Amino acid sequence: MSEMSVFSRCECQATLSAALDEKRHVLSGSATLRGKKERAAAHSIGADGERFDVGWLCPFCNRNTLRSFHVDAIRKSA
């Protein structure tokens, strides 16, 4: 199964990550802040396009963070 990950930074400095399946649907999301890792609700929007968005609900500050990604920019996690 091919799995890819996208990363972003929340305004509270938490690192947001999401694992995506080959259709760019979110399998799981997480957020890390100062070494503490929490599960984060995440979902993808417009996953069929070349450019798509991933939204996270940050568990540390409760902000909704939306980031755009291009399919070429997402990397496969080995």
Footprint of Zn ion on this chain (CB under 5 A)?
Answer: 10, 12, 14, 58, 60-61
CB of 10 to Zn ion, least distance (A): 3
Q: How far is the CB of 57 from Zn ion (least distance, A)?
A: 9
Distance in Å, CB of 72 to Zn ion, minimum: 27
Enter the tokens of residue 25: 């649907």
CB of 51 within 8 A of CB of 3? Answer: no
Name the residue whose CB lies closest to Zn ion: 58
CA distance linking residue 52 with residue 46, whole number of Å: 5
